[in-house]
Structures are given as structure tokens and as C-alpha cells.
Structure 1
Amino acid sequence: MTWKQVIDPFGNITLSVLVAAIPVLFIFWALIIRKMKGYQASLIATGIAMLIATLVYGMPVKLALLSAAHGALYGLFPICWLVIMAVFLFNITVKSGQFEIIKHFMGSITADRRLQALLIAFSFGSFLEGTAGFGAPVAITAAMLVGLGFNPLYASGICLIANTAPVAFGSIGIPITVASQVSGIPELPISQMVGRTLPLLSVMLPFYLVSIIAGITKAREIWPAVLVSGISFAFLQYVSSNFLGPALPDVIAGLGSIICLMTFLRVWKPKTIWRFANEPAATSNAHISYTGGQTIRAWSPFIVLTILIIAWGIQPIKDVLNMTGMLQFEFPGLHNAILGSDGNPIPKLFKVNYLSAAGTAILLAALIVIPLVGLTYRVGITVFKETLIQLRFPILSVASVLAFAYILNDSGITLTLAAVLASTGILFPFFAPILGWLGVFITGSDTSANALFSKLQYATAQSIGVDPVVTVAANVSGGVVGKMISPQSIAVAAAAGDLVGKESQLFRFTVKHSFFMLIFICVLTLAQAYVLKWIIPTYEMLDTKRLTTLPDLSRGHTYLLILALLLAALAVAIRSIASKRKQSPALTNE
């Protein structure tokens, strides 16, 4: 059985778009107006999408069901796999009592919620986005903020909003790599163009985040720290994206802004410590202090996590892990059964990269740190079971959201929405970011949105005489502000922030900020296309006939050996710290 996608099922693009938009509009209505739970809204939206796909677009019922199953399976792996492991690692840290030390450490830097949000949600989250991506930064940082005592809604909401600045360069630059492969424009000019757009957003984002949680007046009270955080991040993001490429901007900018802000806070403190209205004032117990060794041990889960996530992002290591630990199969009944609008069959392969997946790196980190933080593996198994129970509804939400996304893409509904935006003529640069925003809203991934629309962005820009790198980069940049309202991201943040069943609150919290930032990027892209042309980098198109080189597995094995030695040395050091702690009091009485 084969079936060809239809872009204009009614022969009237206006009517086709109105019908195609129904599932997307339903998600907004269900979460904002009806205030449904996330999994309920996703399941109903999936049903609506299937009805439109089969009755309007003529998609065979069998293919629609298989498409939904394909999406749900992808939702379970690698997305839910990652979320489960991220929350599991955090729960281990809490169960062992080490998170109390982390909270004390953060309080020693600053007890101010505004500054904690900048350090964890903005800077540390950006660092994690650069190494892992695909939901891990929001899952980990939201859980950390809730553990520190943040209001769960604000913790999850600001982590989603903070995650906009780094998404374009996430997972060692994968979104831009995919945009390059699909459009034929080299990675560096796309990275440069995005790196001349997003730093303008990045420099304002810290003030924006603090204003959301505390108000503009309270944000002004810490303007020196806000400037240090925003300017250091934006500067490092600009330099690395323009001169080093798309792989390292998040890692460099995230780590650099952490160092700059922590250094600045040694010489500057806010006049007043700001806390949420319903929580007690910050207290400092002078009779409790922790040694440097105890603090390192408490942070060991995140130290090991960072090392492993960085290692998992190194291509030679990925090659080795994929060579020995990946299953790939053609999805039965769906592979090559759908013909694209160009008549070419669409391959439907399912990859289970069970070793190179980011979730596996987090699992390995958890297994390494369980004895280091003083737990037994028996207790670890109990914590894992509790984590699965905690995440049962978010797992259902993520699976249904991905089923929804796959039906929209496979049926041609997404292409219908894209066709209208592409028909806007000379105004297309203004609407180009909306296409990326729409793609990320539907798929939950800037990488997937770039795979969907980069070629369309390239061809449309050429047809109206605009440099294609402007619109391809706009697809990347517009996508980042759609991440905070993607149902997939909302489900992940709700799971990590203890807001299961309250996804509608989280959606309403972030949606207006998504639109504000989207309009900003749309106006900036229009100016880049026609007014600020000097900002566009010069480049040559990729040679599509380049031969692909086989991976060098020997380098991967060498890196893995170095990684094993590094982790072993770290484990010995932390065990040594733990043994010294047993011989001396854990607390220092002063």
C-alpha cells in the first residue's frame, strides 16, 4: 500500500489551511481555555488529527494508525528514556541527603531566588543544552529549582523560557548541522547568522527571567548581576558561533556565564534577599558548615553527569557506541508507504541507539554515583521504581504528543500550514521564523523543525531574491522560542517540576512570552533581509557530491579508555573524601 501526501485537499488553500489548523488550535484552546491535563489534551488532539488526516487528506486508516504508533514509540525512546533517567538521578541525590548540601552551597553563594534562577535555569541549563539537549536541561534544572524550594510553576516555567537562548546550538550543534544538510548551506554561515540574532535575545533574557518571577522593580535591584550574566553569555555565544562553529556556543557561553556571575557575586551582593511571598525568609545557620570535600561529594552526581554528557557528545565516541549498541529497522507497514508531495517515498526507520542515547549517559551516571553518595543498589532500585510511578502520566503525555506530531507531518497537514507562510512573497522573511516556531511547537525539536522546513526556507528565499541563509537561520532562531510551549516540552517540565496534571497552568505561563520573543525575531529577520544586509556572512554552497568518510573507531576507543580512567580517578577521590568524613564530624560546630 502506498499513498501520496496532499497539500491542498480542498483545491482551495484558504479552506485547506483553516481545516489543517484545527488540531493545533485545539491544543491552544484545551490548555489555555479549557485547562485540560496535558495527556488528555494530547490524546484528543491526536484523535482530531487522525480524523482530519483520514477523512480530509485521504490518508488510509492503517497508515494513520501506524504513523501514530511510530510517533508514540519515539516518544518512549529516546524522549521518555531521557526524562526518566534525569529525574532518577535527581531523586538519588535527594534520597542520599546530598541535595541538602547542594542547597546549603547555593545559599552560601546567594540565597536570593533571582540569582539562583540565573545560575541554574539560565547558565547551567544552557550548558546542559549544549551537551545533551532533547529535554534534559529542562528536566534537570526544573527538578533542581523545585528541590531548592522554588514555587514549582515558576521553576518549570522559567526553565522553559531560559531554554530558548541555547536551543539552536543544542546537542553539540545538531539543529544547525541538520539545517545545513537539508538546505545545502554550510554549517558555519548558518551558525554565524544565528549567532548574530540570538545574542540580542540572550543579553535581554536574564532581565526578562527575573522580571517574570519578581517583577521589573525587583529585577532592577540586581541589574549589575543581570548585566554580568546576560552580557557574558551573549558575548561568548556570539564569538564561539561566529568563529568556532555550532558545536560549542552553549557549552562555552553557559560555563562562562556561570564563572563570571559566581566571581562577580564574591564582590557584590544585593541589598535585600528576595524570596517568594509564600516562603520563609532565608536563614543562615552559622553552626552548620560543610567542608570542600563534602560539597564536592554532594555535587558528584552532576559532575559525573557533565563528564558523561560531554563524552557522549564527542563524535568518535558516538560512532563506537552506535557501532556496538544500536538497533535499526524499517517500521513495518509504514516504511516507504507514504509518498511525499514530490512523489518520492518517505523512509520510516526506527533507531534504538540504546548506548549513545543521552538517557543512557544519565543512567550510567546514576549507577556510578549510587555508591559514591552512600546508597546501596537495592535502595537505588527502589528509587527507580518510585520514579517510574512518579512519571506514569508524563510518559503517557509525551507518547501521545509525539503520536500527534507524526500524524501531522506524515499526513501533509504540516505542509499545508507551511505552504501558506511560503506564499507571502516579499514579506516571507517576517514569517520565516514562524515556520520554525510552528515546526518546534508540533515536533518538540528544533532539529526536527529544521529537517522539515530548511529546504522550503531556502527555495522560497531564492524565489524572492533574499539570501537563503537569512531564512534558514530564521527557521532555527524562530524554532527556539517555540520550544517553551511545545506540548512535549511542557510534559517534560511538568514531570520534573512536580506539576503533573497542571500542564495547562504551565502552558498559560509560557505562551505569551513565546509570542513576544517570536515577534522580536520576526522583525529582526525582516530587517536582516532588506535593511541590515551587511550582517549576512559570505559563503559558498556545499558540494553535495562530497564522499562521506567512515568513522575512525580507534579514536573512539581511545576516548572511551580516557573517559573510564577519568571516572575511576574521580570515584576514588570521592570515596576517599567519604571515608575521611566518617572519621571526622560531618558538621562543624562554631
Structure 2
Amino acid sequence: MSDLETLGAWTQNYTPIADNIWISGLVALLPILLFLACLVWLKLKGWVAASLTVGLSAIIALVVYQMPFNMILMSFMQGFLTGLWPIAWIIIAAIFLYKIAVKTGYFEILKQSVMAVTPDQRLQVILIAFCFGAFLEGAIGFGGPVAITAALLVGLGLRPLYAAGLCMIANTAPVAFGAVGIPIIALGNAVGVSSHDIAGMVGRMLPPLTLFVPFFIVFLMSGFKGVKETFPAVFVASVSFAGVQYWSSNYLGPELPDIISAIVSIAVTSIFLKFWQPKNIYTGDTNHNSNIAKAEKTEQHSVGTIFLAWMPFILLVIAIGLWNLPAFKALFGSDGVLKDTNILFAMHGLHNQVMQVAPLYPDPTPLGATWNWQLIQNSGTAILLAAILSIFILRARVNMVVEAASETLKEMFIPIVTIGLVVAFAFIAKNSGQAATMGIALSHTGSLFPFFSPFIGWIGVFLTGSDTSANLLFGPLQQATAKVLNAQEVLFLAANTVGGVVGKMISPQSIAIACAAVGLVGKESDLFRFTLKYSIGFVIFIGIWTAFIAYIIPGIIIHS
């Protein structure tokens, strides 16, 4: 008996049924199919769909994959706790900050200042959901960008479902590099490939998607006529973003593309709109003069008042910037004065007891299972600090703060449970080997693999809600398949990342966060149906684009 067996280690089996990858893959797919059925056809609430899905996944892990019950239970706990912290904590802090701005009345002034840049609702969505959302994705990630931008758009007058859906689609372009390049850095470390090379390849694959998304958003809002009416401004926004994204990813690395691209795009587009506006102003209703009248009211406020209105979000940016400084991060290192505020819990009976084997890893590799309770280092605490400072700067009364806090907690209770359940499902699927089974099945498509490679990342993000997690889960598989096919591994690693970005808009975790942000708790099925068809279309395009690169224009592939 080996030492690992003595310690109670359990080895993943990726073909548990008749040693057949396709049959096993179909069984592993059943929880996802159940989730789709619950939301698309049965129209169940998100927490109900998540409960049934995690239950079925647990049964498959126990009966089919023969995973010990205690490991399944600890996988559930690991996932649920991760859903609470850091994910739910970031969303709670973001919604609380937003509500402080609303309760004090300054959010109305902020809305008017946005309308002063452009009264056209389509261009407001581009500036907030696409540009500002990309900045937040580059800074914090974890669903915070969708929560904040969707709330802003609802405040500007968009219907909640519409606002959430558009923000989910807009969030695709920057996900690969958020937050501060972690998805790509983590992938590079996991597979031993330069993160700079992976970032550069991702930057070469993303431009078609980045250029398309802003125009597609406008198309969804007002059709081809709207695209024609807003073309100059949308062109400026998309080209400036895509150009800087390409340059920064190829020459600076993975950390800054989202942040730099967003800042440049916001600045260039805002300046352009000072000299050009659409002839037909779109407000989403029949009164096309309403937004113009509201925009004119902004002139009644002083520059200082408008600056105060933006202060919560300025503080948010400053706080997040501080949290990402190397000197600040060093405070939490092994010798840092705040190291004890990061409390690491190893999941008993699970941590390093699950062995990942070929083809994920050439040699048996233990899977770590920890939960890191970062009391201060978590980005949610940075956002909470911004909210607390906003309370004093905006002179919010005690009753306003109490109302904002109580409403946030009340509205977030069900979403928190939903987020915890879907992340728990993700961890059971990952730890038991179900997720790997699905990825390995796609890797058996041979010469068609360049087309299917992005689908693996897409499935990974659907399961985990995170491009980082999807890269860690399937990066080694992509690398192994590249070696078997004698292909450039950096292409498939990048494809995993790029495919993952369009899986974000249908991830149960992201759906729950977006619905919570706009007050649509219980309506997750509506939002899922809105984004599903677009996500499928996008990943098919990325698959075709990856195959085109592999077979037609291989010269653009970075040789690592």
C-alpha cells in the first residue's frame, strides 16, 4: 500500500463508465443539462435550479465517480464558503456603495453628468457597461463590474433585465485580463509557459470580439439603424479600446490591458462626443427630448457638486488601486504586518487528498483544497472603505446609512445563497473529475481540436464562473493536447482563455450576481435565456477563428 493510500488519498478517474470517455462525458454533462432545463424550460428560480444541480452533481460524484462522501461534503463546503467570501462580499460592498450614492441624492447628479456627455442611451451603455465595466474588471473582477455597471444603468433608466443582459455581454471583452491579469498569470504558472507570451496571444485573438461587442450592444438596443446612427462614436470607442488592448497585452504583459484600454477609450470617446452627437437621440422610450432636457439640468450644478457625485466611484477606483499596489500587497506577505488578517483553512480530508492524473498532469498531482478568508486584502474590503469614506464626504445621515445597509443585506440574502450553491457545484464538478471528463472528451476531436479548444474554456467558465479557475482546471489539458497534436501550445492556452470570456455571460454565478444587482432575484431564468443564444454564437465564432489561426494564418502565433 502506497503512502498516499495510507493517508486516504483518492485518485480521479476520468472514464468511470465502461472506460469510455464519451459515455462518461455525457453523464458528467447531466448536471449542466439539468441546470439548463430548470432555467430555460421549467423557469425555476435560481436557487432552486442551483440546489437541484448541485444535488445531481453530488450523486454522480458519489455513485459514478466513487468519490468518498466526506470529500464531496468538503467540496461543497469549500465552494459555498468561496461563494460567500470573496465573491458575495465584493458584491455586497459594491451594492452598499451604490445605495449610499442613491440615498444621498448624489446619484441623480451623477446620472445628469453622464447625460451631459451624451443624452443618447446607447452611447451611455457603451461608456458605462463596456468602458467603465472593463476598468472595473481589470481592477476587481469576481462579478463586481457587472453588479456596479448594471446598477448604474438601471439608475439611468434602463429596464433591469435589459441592463443586466447588456452588462453581461459587455463584460466579455475584458474578462481575459481581469483582475490585474490573474487568469493569465495563474495559467502561465500552472503550465510553465510565459504569461507574457500567453497574454500576447490572447491580445492577438481578442480584437475581432472586442471590436464587435460595442456594435452588437447597440444593435440589440436599436437594430441596424442604431448602429448606423451611432457608428462614429462606437467606432472610436471600440477601436481605441481594441488597439490599446492589443498593444498593452503584447508589450506590457497581462496585468494592465483592461485598465489602460478602458481609460483611453473613455477619454477618447468623451472628447469625441464633445464635437459629435447622433442626430437622432435614443432614450429607449417615445419621448426623445426627455434625456436632452435632463442633460441640460446638469448645468445648474457646479463642477464641485458633480465631482462630489462621482466621489464614491472615484474613491472605489483609488481604493482598488491602493489594494493592488505591490507595497500594499507586501503587508500581507509572510513577513507583512497584516499577514494574520489572511486566515487560510485547509479543507480537512480533502486538501491534497485528491490526485489529478494523466492527461491533466503527466504525473499524479495533489489537488489543493483551501479557503482563504482575507479579511482586509479582499477587494470587497477596499470597496467597503470607499463606501465608508463616501458616507462622510457626502454627509449621509444615519438613517440613510442604516436603510442602505439593511436593504443591501435583505436584497442580497437569496443571491448569496444562490452564489454559494453554484460555486459549490463548480467545486464538486472539479474535485470529483466531472469537469475534467468533459474537457478530455473534447480533446479527443483530433484535427478538429483547434475549433473545440475554446469550448473547453467556455465550459470551464460556465462551471466555475471564473476565467482563472477555468484556466487552472483545463490549462494542463490544453497543453497536453497541443503536444499530442504537435501544435503550438500557446494558441490552445490562449483559446482556453478567450473561449472562457464568452462563457461568463451564462455562468450561473454571474447570472445570480447580475440579477441581485438590478433587483431581479428569482428571475435568473429570464436573464439566462437572454444571454444563452449570444454566448453560443460567440463561442462558435471563437472556435472558427482559432481554427483559422491554426490552419490559415499560423504566422501570428507566438512561439514560446
Identify whether the pair has TM-score above 0.5, normalized to the shorter chain: yes
Deviations 1:483-537 (A, max 9, x none): 0100000011111122111111101111111111111111111122222111012
**Which residue of the partner structure matches residue 360 of structure 2?**
none
Count of residue pairs brought into register by the alignment? 539
- The counterpart of 1:403, out of the listed 418, 424, 433, is 424
2:445 corresponds to: 424
Instruction: Please show how residues 234-273 of structure 1 align to structure 2 within 5 Å.
Output: 234-273=242-281
Is residue 326 from structure 1 mapped to residue 326 from structure 2 by the alignment? Answer: no
2:355 partner amino acid: L
Deviates more, 1:10-19 or 1:412-421: 10-19
Paired letter, 2:62: T
CA contact (8 A) 1:171 1:313 kept: no
Compute the displacement of 1:133 (Å): 0.8
For residues 375-427 of structure 1, the C-alpha deviation after alignment (integer angstroms, 9 at most, x for no partner) is: 14564244212210011111111000011101101111111101111111122
Q: Of residues 277, 293, 314 in structure 2, which corresponds to 1:284?
A: 293
> Where does residue 486 of structure 1 map in the other structure?
507
1:199 aligns with 2:207: yes
Distance in structure 1 (CA, Å) of the matches to 2:388 and 2:66: 49
Conserved? CA contact 1:132–1:313, under 8 Å: no
- Alignment match, 1:358: 379
- Indicate the SS of the match to 1:345: strand
User: Bigger shift: 6-15 or 440-449?
Assistant: 6-15
Structure 1: gaps (5+ residues): 540-590
Equivalent position SS for 1:172: coil
Cross-structure match for 1:458: 479
For 1:173 and 1:339, locate their aligned partners in 2 and report how far apart those are by CA, in whole Å: 28
- Is the CA contact (8 Å cut-off) linking 1:321 and 1:355 kept in structure 2? no
2:528 counterpart (503, 507, 517): 507
Q: Distance in 2 between matches of 1:100 and 1:348?
A: 45
Indicate the residue corresponding to 2:180 in structure 1.
172
Partner of 2:4: none
Q: Secondary structure at the match of 2:173?
A: helix
| Conserved? CA contact 2:488–2:559, under 8 Å | no
Summarize the Cα distance change of 1:493–1:278 in structure 2 as closer, same or farther, 3 Å threshold: farther
Greater than 4 Å deviation, 4+ residue runs:
285-288
Residue 320 of structure 1 aligns with an amino acid whose one-letter code is: L
**Corresponding residue for 2:326?**
315
Q: Which of residues 218, 231, 240 in structure 2 aligns to 1:210? A: 218
- TM superposition score normalised by structure 1: 0.89
Within the candidate set 209, 223, 226, 2:234 is matched to 226
Distance 1:76 1:278 in 2: 42
Give, in angstroms, the shift of residue 354 of structure 1.
1.5
Which amino acid is the alignment partner of residue 393 of structure 2? L
Aligned to 1:406, what secondary structure does the other structure show? helix
Pairing 1:149-164 to 2, within 5 Å after superposition:
149-164=157-172
Counterpart check, 1:185 vs 2:201: no
Counterpart of 2:74 (choices 56, 66, 72) is 66
Amino acid at match of 1:282: N
CA shift, 1:340, in A, is 2.3
Contact 2:100 2:400 in 1 (8 A): no
The two structures have a TM-score, normalised by structure 2, of 0.94
Q: 1:457 to 1:279 in 2, by over 3 A?
A: farther
Within 2, Cα distance between the matches of 1:365 and 1:172? 19
CA–CA distance in structure 2, aligned partners of residues 344 and 282 of structure 1:
59
Query: Structure 2: which amino acid aligns with 1:345?
Result: P
CA drift at 1:347: 2.1
- Structure 1, residues 141-192: CA drift from partner, whole Å, max 9, x if none? 0010011111111110010110000000111100110110112110111111
How far the C-alpha of 1:3 sits from its partner, in A, is 2.2
Q: 2:482 & 2:130 partners in 1: Cα distance?
A: 33
Aligned to 2:436: 415
* Match of residue 43 from structure 1: 51
- In structure 1, the residue matched to 2:106 is 98
Moved more, 439-448 or 58-67: 58-67
Q: Deviation at 1:283?
A: 4.8
Match of 1:301 in 2: 312
Task: Give, in angstroms, the shift of residue 5 of structure 1.
Answer: 1.4
Residues 78, 370 of structure 2: 8 Å contact kept:
no
The alpha carbon displacement at 1:278 in A equals: 7.2
Contact 2:38 2:49 in 1 (8 A): yes
Give the aligned residue type for 1:349.
T
Q: What letter is aligned with 2:300?
A: S
**One-letter amino acid matched to 1:274:** Y
**Residue 111 of structure 2 corresponds to residue 116 of structure 1:** no
Describe the superposition over 1:265-323 as per-residue Cα deviations: whole angstroms up to 9, x where unpaired: 11111111112237784351656611000000010000000011122122331221454
Q: Over the residues paired in the alignment, what is the CA RMSD in angstroms?
A: 1.5
Residue 473 in structure 1 maps to residue 494 in structure 2: yes
CA separation of 1:334/1:381 partners in 2, compared to 1, >3 Å: closer, same or farther?
farther
Q: How far apart, CA to CA, are the structure 2 residues paired with 1:348 and 1:472? A: 24
Partner of 1:390: 411
The answer on whether the counterparts of 1:183 and 1:472 sit within 8 Å (CA) in structure 2 is: no
Partners of 2:475 and 2:22 in 1: CA distance: 23
Contact 2:103/2:400 (<8 A) preserved: no
Match of 2:174, SS state, is helix
SS in 2 for 1:59: coil
Q: Which moved more, 1:291-300 or 1:512-521?
A: 512-521
Identity %: 46
Distance 2:275 2:356 in 1: 60
Other-structure match for 2:10: 3
Please give the alpha-carbon distance, in whole angstroms, between the structure 1 residues aligned to 2:403 and 2:162.
29
Letter in 2 for 1:448: S
**Residue 353 of structure 2 is aligned with which of 337, 359, 374?**
337
Q: Do the aligned partners of 1:370 and 1:377 also contact (CA within 8 Å) in 2?
A: no
User: Aligned with 1:391: secondary structure?
Assistant: helix
1:328–1:350 contact (8 Å) kept in structure 2: yes
Q: Give the aligned partner of residue 390 of structure 2.
A: 369
Greater CA deviation, 309-318 or 479-488? 309-318
CA distance in 1, matches of 2:48, 2:286: 31
Distance across 2 between alignment mates of 1:279 and 1:358:
41
C-alpha distance in 1 between matches for 2:190 and 2:78? 22
Is 107-116 or 82-91 further displaced after alignment? Answer: 107-116
Q: 2-side partners of 1:194 and 1:428: how far apart?
A: 18
For 1:524, the aligned partner's letter is W
Q: Which runs of 5+ in 2 are unaligned?
A: 1-7, 358-362
